Homo-oligomer: A and B are copies of this chain.
Amino acid sequence: MAGNTFGKLFRVTTAGVSHGPGYLCIVDGCPAGLELSVEDLLPDLRRRRPGQSKLTTQRDEADTPEIWSGVFEGKTDGTPIGILFRNADQRSGDYGDIKDKYRPGHADYTFDSKYGFRDYRGGGRSSARETVCRVAAGAVAKKLLAREGIRVLGYVTRVGNVAAEVSDPAAVTLDQVEANPVRCPVPEAARRMEELIDEVRKDRDSIGGVCELAAIGVPPGLGEPVFDKLKADLGKALLSLPAVLGFEYGAGFAVAGMRGSENNDVFVPAPASGGREPPEGIKTRGGHAPHSPAIRTETNRHGGMLGGISSGEPIVCRVAIKPTSSIPRAQRTVTRAGDPTEILVKGRHDPCLLPRFVPMGEAMIALVLVDHLLRARTARLS
């Protein structure tokens, strides 16, 4: 029950710390027959990688996965997919000061409280480097989703006080997102976000933001009625990522100010085509036509989920990401003994977590959707 497994039917189990030899990732429950190779994992791992631009940390991490099992002659074979990542850049010296002082905003104190001691070389198990495993597993999940005509795409909609207006999440393309280092699909906003992050970095500070994520092509009927509502599992998935302090979907916190007559989404007949094209970038290799509903809603304040079950409308959610806790300036804190002191956290850190968060968020959504797709296979008599 130490919480290193995610998912029920599509299960990801991980081990590893930032300053050990590397990470182990086991993906259990992937159906047999999916074409898969290391190449499929690389694009998202590159998007997650440090050192992509001046907006992200300049650490150089070797994020090359090795697939040890689960794939035979180019296809998943039903047995667990074993993936390894070796850690390359272990400059432990950089972190020496945190051995006896608690970094503000980090898990140092809480780990000590939980286990009686901790791996003080970097964040240990709490390091965000652990997300390499999630992103790799998420890439497998995305391939499964693509076969069903489902695409997951995230993008940055806010950094500090700079916000981007995205009116139609289903229309955003991967190219738009990847066109700038911030991963904001609105060019003018992206430019201002970039400037802000650069300014913050020069101030030896960091800045928070919001990431929006959308899943297009999800058929109606995913999610379970009571405890395992799709919204609940998505919320858990995203809140399990480092630095996430909030999750909302559809109209989100804005519903607090609404009346029912404003907020309810009206059901309407779908246009003849079902109103659906395969999402951009998705070729359905599974012979599955993308979901073509007869019924839609006129608006999507419900974010694609009603009663916790997918409605067929785009699933749209947002998460709030705090500013990086490690900032290159002295901060007050206490020693392990409880005495007041100052700490200067060394190392190279992202001034803004948002750009690299995007593939992590996508991965978690993909993992949840695949899990529920598999669960949905048992909802009715065959």
Contact = CB atoms under 8 A, between A and B. Distances in A.
B245 A248 contact: yes
Interface in A153-170: 158-161
A249 to B, nearest CB: 6
A174 interface: no
A171 interface: no
Contacts of A70: 15
A194 to B, nearest CB: 17
A42 interface: no
Contacts of A281: none
B266 A327 contact: no
Contact of A250 (B15, B245, B261): B245
Contact of A260 (B105, B295, B375): B105
A265 B84 contact: no
A340 interface: yes
Nearest to A247: B247
A208 B248 CA distance: 15
Nearest to A157: B256
Interface stretch (A51-59, A90-98, A176-184, A223-231): A223-231
Given A20-B68, A295-B102, A331-B266, A228 B3 contact: yes
A295 B382 CA distance: 25
Interface in A338-367: 338-340
A220 B72 contact: no
A125 B255 contact: no
Contacts of A219: 113
Contact of A110 (B21, B244, B309): B309
Contacts of A305: 110
Interface string A31-50: 11110000000000000000
B235 A68 contact: no
A325 to B, nearest CB: 6
A80 B3 CA distance: 9
A191 interface: no
A377 interface: yes
Contacts of A307: 106-107, 110-111, 123, 126, 242
Contacts of A229: 3, 239-240
A279 interface: no
Nearest to A327: B260
Most B C-beta atoms less than 10 A away, residue of A17, A236, A268? A236
Most B C-beta atoms less than 10 A away, residue of A4, A203, A248, A263? A4
A327 B261 contact: yes
A187 interface: no
A200 interface: yes
A220 to B, nearest CB: 4
Nearest to A20: B69
27 contacts: A1-B224, A1-B378, A2-B78, A3-B228, A4-B225, A13-B26, A24-B68, A31-B378, A75-B117, A77-B118, A104-B265, A114-B223, A125-B225, A158-B256, A160-B258, A161-B257, A205-B260, A208-B257, A227-B240, A231-B239, A235-B236, A256-B320, A260-B322, A261-B327, A262-B323, A266-B331, A266-B332
Closest 8 CB pairs of A and B: A107-B307, A3-B228, A3-B224, A246-B248, A15-B82, A113-B220, A236-B236, A206-B260
Given A206-B259, A207-B258, A208-B258, 11 more contacts: A5-B11, A5-B227, A15-B82, A31-B379, A32-B381, A33-B115, A130-B226, A206-B260, A210-B253, A245-B249, A260-B323
